[in-house]
Structure 1
Amino acid sequence: MTTGKLEKKLRFLIIYVIAITAVCGFLAFTSFRRATLRQTTDELTVKRINIVDEDGALRMVVSNEHRQHPGRMNGQQLPARERPAGIIFFNEAGDECGGLVYNGNDKDAGLFLSVDKFGDDQVMQLQYSENPQKQRRKYGLQLWDYPKENTFDERLRRFKALKQLPTREEQDKAYEQMLKDSLLMQDRLFIGQTYEKEMGLFIKDQDGKPRIKIFIDKDKQPRIQVLNPDGTIMR
């Protein structure tokens, strides 16, 4: 066999060994990576976790307060804002649809599990809120309603404009106009304990005015009240 043929075979063997080594290395790496990703972990410390679906769309965020997601609605991410630590849920449309958030210090403490209306803000909430210094607390089930459909974008635009107004008087006037234009949610029902230490059922009409109260007051007296829209007791 000539020297040239030996050199060709030697080069072929070298290339073959390199190729086989590379393939084996790649298979070993991917197998190790898959095993690592699937392994059971006893403890995990992170600042934020994003849960996505098979297409990579965001479905849930678990985060501390500094990295919390600002929320999304109608395909648009909302402006950066302060939000408590907790869990934010996102529906198949990509919009925020509820969450569980909490906070707690010697001035303000609370935990809120919220359910959002599709394409809008919250309509139901299991809530606990407290001022530890004043020993004032409220907890129970809260329901809201929206007088008009599909008002989220207009409401957000109005709130942005309101914040730019120079005086508190102008801001209050703009807020009142939003109420008149039916852009704000109305308190409709609460079951639980109020800040006034009344425990019971409290129902309001479409304008947010109290109409039925069934409760035990702070003096341990049972009360049933049916009210007129102006707040006077009918019976």
Structure 2
Amino acid sequence: MKKHIFLTLFKILFTSIVFCYVFVAFKEKEKDYHIDEITVKRLNIVDESGEALRMVISNETRQHSGILNGKEMPQRERPAGIIFFNSVGDECGGLLYNGNDEQAGMVLSIDQYRDDQIMQLQYQENTFDDKRKYGLQIWDYKKEDGFDERYERYLELNTIEDKELREQRIAEMKSDSLWMEDRMFVGKNFQNQVGLFIKDQSGNARIRVYIDENDEPKFELLDKEGNVLGNK
């Protein structure tokens, strides 16, 4: 009888020890898991809750469409790369790239809070005729918190085929301070000019300091209409 009780207790104790060992080993492995290689089509990085996105690494087919003001954007074509999301869940920038026999490019974008991109480190190339542009690009948005209205107007623009009507709608957006204005570019442009190109709040070129395609240095001041006021 005593032997039977001893064997029963021994089995219970042994089973408990094995269970604890497996449980601890599993928890340790879950806490610090190492692998040499992983192949995926999309990888979602989330916060500690396991729900809110912080980063998406994806191929072009499964790329995230973006979130702004808590609303997910409609599905659209986006290159492969990385999309970043801030602590309120909005897209706040990304690293995207692509390349083929017609065009190639890579951009590191930084978005304004609750709005679209305001700065890019960019490379663009027309691979068919070897035309390239690369450098730092900066934009401005005149109207604060204007993304939702601007986005609706952009969607309307995409449905307009008449060139004259399209230009009219763009002029209206500029008048309403909804157009994204180019403010500065530092780098090499498609005209093979390397330098600093600055525009005013309305997107008019005002200062150009560059070396042209003939290796001639240029320093130009311009009025709002684009007329050169000074050239050195």
What is the TM-score when the length of structure 1 is the normalising length? 0.86
Q: Letter of the aligned partner of 1:55 in structure 2?
A: S
Equivalent residue, structure 2, for 1:191: 186
> Equivalents in 1 of 2:151, 2:191: separation in Å?
32
Equivalent residue, structure 1, for 2:106: 111
The yes-or-no answer on 1:148 pairing with 2:143 is: yes
Identity, % of aligned pairs? 50
Which moved further from structure 2: 138-147 or 22-31?
Answer: 22-31
* Cα offsets for 1:66-108 (capped at 9, x unmatched): 0000000000000000000000000011100000000011101
Task: Give the SS at the match of 2:139.
Answer: strand
Which moved further from structure 2: 129-138 or 35-44?
Answer: 35-44
Task: Note if contact 2:47-2:53 (Cα within 8 Å) is conserved in structure 1.
Answer: yes
Say what the alpha-carbon RMSD is for the aligned residues. 2.5
Q: CA deviation at 1:206?
A: 0.5
Q: Letter of the aligned partner of 1:199 in structure 2?
A: V
Structure 1, unmatched stretches of 5+, are 1-12
Structure 2, unmatched stretches of 5+, are 1-7
The yes-or-no answer on 1:32 pairing with 2:23 is: no
> Equivalents in 2 of 1:166, 1:208: separation in Å?
24
> Equivalents in 1 of 2:28, 2:56: separation in Å?
24
Alignment of 1:144-223 (within 5 A): 144-165=139-160, 167-223=162-218
Q: CA deviation at 1:221?
A: 0.2
Q: CA deviation at 1:21?
A: 6.1
Q: CA deviation at 1:167?
A: 3.9
Equivalent residue, structure 1, for 2:223: 228
> Equivalents in 1 of 2:164, 2:24: separation in Å?
64
Q: Letter of the aligned partner of 2:32 in structure 1?
A: R
Equivalent residue, structure 2, for 1:122: 117
Alignment of 1:1-20 (within 5 A): none
Alignment of 1:79-98 (within 5 A): 79-98=74-93
* Cα offsets for 1:21-61 (capped at 9, x unmatched): 69966973674375156321111111111111112211000
